[in-house]
């Protein structure tokens, strides 16, 4: 069986972002293979833990992929401040004799964004709306590489490591089965320490806010690496809770066209054609405009609205809406040329992680986490679509008994989706086209 088939059968998807099915990334020879260990969301530390404690598996996964995609140049991107992680990786590389170099990067946001990372490592700009693969580059998160190594031993992805922090009694990393709920994760971290709270599924910059009541039923999947509990009065909760209509109204009255959002936009700074201030202006004016189409190149990093804008305007949310409308209308980027990033004074426009944490009012919460709590809940809700692509089709029915690792959702290898497996032993209690619920016993 070849590596692609092993990865497909294990249901591996990108562990650090949108959950792209990994076997679809490795279909042709490339010139660069980059392991992404430059986790950049504030407070999130799951990848760091895996680099410290499972470096040998990460390097084994990297070598398996390197052999499968034409033996390209191999780089593991970490951060200069990751001393013990880099040491563990160095030792694993040397023991395995793998020709990989480690590139420690500076601690700015969003250094772990695929497009920014490709620019940092190769000096190449991914075309707006394109993929690193268009340049002969494959980027894989370090946790994904670990999962690839386990796939070579026929172990499907049934668990994940999630950072649970913020206003909780015992911030920690939770080793959870796929499909554990937000409620389970928060309880594993000792429960919330404030009476009125909300929770972010994912990192503070790119995650989704849920109310305390809603998070109880939110399932956490293979690509979910964090849950952050914040007081309901926290500025991030207030910002994310604002309805889109209110954000549009704010943009009309408050945007002063200072262009600071564009000055700091990481995609603009690597030479892509995205100018959020112009997107906001075009939306404010109404009608069609070439500037609107540029929103398709937005990477949704959130820097423009959560750090750059002095007026509380939300260029990212506006770009997201514009993107949805353009895609629904079948529009695509007409100009995918890139500029020279040298013209943007990029070095002086980086936003350091420490600045971001201060600005987001997150300085009181811990970031360096080394305590792991294993979670084994009585029930899980497993989504049949764990990331981008088609949902898997249920392979079980109510009343079936399953064991950890049994296949419960199927897609063909050629489809843009990933297989789904049982994450606990037990009985299938509910099956819908979207989820399979399992109860232990």
Applying CB under 6 A, the residues found at the interface with ligand SF4 are 255-261, 265-267, 274, 276-277, 280, 298-304, 308-309, 311, 313, 315-316, 319
Question: What's the closest the beta carbon of residue 256 comes to ligand SF4, in angstroms?
Answer: 5
Quote the least distance from Cβ 322 to ligand SF4, whole Å.
11
Closest listed residue to residue 264, CA positions, set 336, 375, 359: 359
- H helices of 329-370, in order, are 353-359
Closer Cβ to ligand SF4, 44 or 283, answer by number: 283
Judged by beta carbon, residue 10 or residue 303, the one nearer ligand SF4 is 303
In whole angstroms, how close is the CB of 264 to ligand SF4 at the nearest point?
7
Rounded CA separation 424/405 (Å): 8
- Cβ proximity to ligand SF4: between 134 and 412 the closer is 134
CB 314, min distance to ligand SF4, A: 8
* Minimum CB–partner distance for residue 113 and ligand SF4 (Å): 8
Query: Nearer to ligand SF4 by C-beta: 142 or 205?
Result: 205
Please give the distance of CA 258 from its chain centroid, rounded to a whole number: 30
Minimum CB distance to ligand SF4 smaller for 193 or for 300: 300
Residue 230, SS3 per DSSP = strand
> Closest approach of Cβ 372 to ligand SF4, in Å?
32
Distance CA 41, CA 260 (A): 21
Burial 112-144 (b: 16+ CB within 10 A, else e): bbbbbbbbbbbebbbbbbbbbbebbbbbbbbbb
Integer angstrom CA distances of residue 112 from 75, 140, 233, 277: 14, 11, 29, 24
Closest CB to ligand SF4 among 3 and 296?
A: 296
Q: In sequence order, what are the beta bridge partners of 346?
A: none
* Residues 174, 190 contacting (CB under 8 angstroms): no
């Amino acid at each position: 069986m070849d590596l692609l088939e092993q990865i497909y059968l294990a249901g591996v998807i990108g562990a650090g972002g949108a959950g792209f099915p990994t076997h679809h990334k490795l279909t042709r020879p490339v010139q660069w293979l980059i392991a992404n260990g430059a986790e950049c969301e504030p407070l999130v530390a799951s990848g760091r833990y895996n680099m410290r404690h499972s470096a040998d598996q990460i390097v084994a996964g990297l070598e398996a992929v390197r052999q499968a995609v034409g033996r390209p140049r191999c780089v593991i991107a970490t951060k200069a401040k990751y001393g013990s992680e880099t040491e563990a990786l160095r030792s694993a590389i040397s023991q395995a004799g793998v020709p990989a170099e480690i590139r420690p990067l500076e601690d700015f946001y969003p250094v772990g964004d695929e497009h920014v990372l490709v620019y940092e490592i190769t000096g190449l700009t991914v075309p707006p709306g394109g993929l690193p693969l268009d340049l002969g580059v494959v980027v894989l998160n370090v946790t994904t590489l670990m999962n690839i190594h386990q796939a070579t031993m026929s172990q499907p992805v049934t668990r994940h490591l999630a950072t649970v922090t913020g206003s909780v009694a015992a911030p920690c990393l939770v080793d959870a089965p796929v499909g554990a709920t937000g409620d389970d994760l928060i309880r594993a971290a000792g429960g919330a320490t404030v009476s009125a709270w909300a929770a972010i599924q994912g990192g503070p910059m790119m995650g989704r806010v849920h109310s305390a009541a809603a998070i109880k039923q939110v399932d956490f999947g293979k690509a979910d690496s964090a849950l952050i509990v914040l007081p309901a009065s926290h500025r991030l909760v207030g910002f994310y809770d604002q309805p889109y209509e209110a954000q549009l109204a704010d943009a009309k009255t408050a945007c002063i066209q200072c262009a600071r959002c564009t000055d700091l936009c990481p995609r603009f700074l690597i030479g892509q054609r995205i100018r959020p201030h112009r997107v906001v202006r075009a939306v404010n004016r109404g009608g069609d405009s070439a500037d609107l189409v540029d929103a398709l190149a937005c990477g949704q990093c959130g820097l423009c609205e959560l750090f750059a804008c002095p007026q509380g305007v939300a260029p990212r949310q506006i770009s997201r809406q514009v993107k949805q409308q353009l895609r629904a209308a079948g529009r695509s980027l007409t100009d995918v040329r890139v500029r020279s990033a040298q013209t943007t004074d990029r070095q002086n426009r980086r936003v350091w992680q420490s600045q971001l944490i201060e600005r987001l009012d997150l300085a009181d919460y811990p970031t360096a986490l080394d305590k792991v709590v294993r979670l084994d809940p009585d029930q899980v809700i497993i989504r049949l679509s764990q990331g981008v692509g088609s949902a898997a089709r249920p392979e079980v029915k109510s009343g079936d008994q399953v064991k950890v690792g049994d296949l419960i959702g199927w897609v063909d290898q050629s489809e843009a989706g990933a297989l789904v497996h049982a994450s606990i032993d037990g009985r299938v209690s509910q099956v819908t086209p979207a989820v399979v619920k399992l109860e232990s016993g």
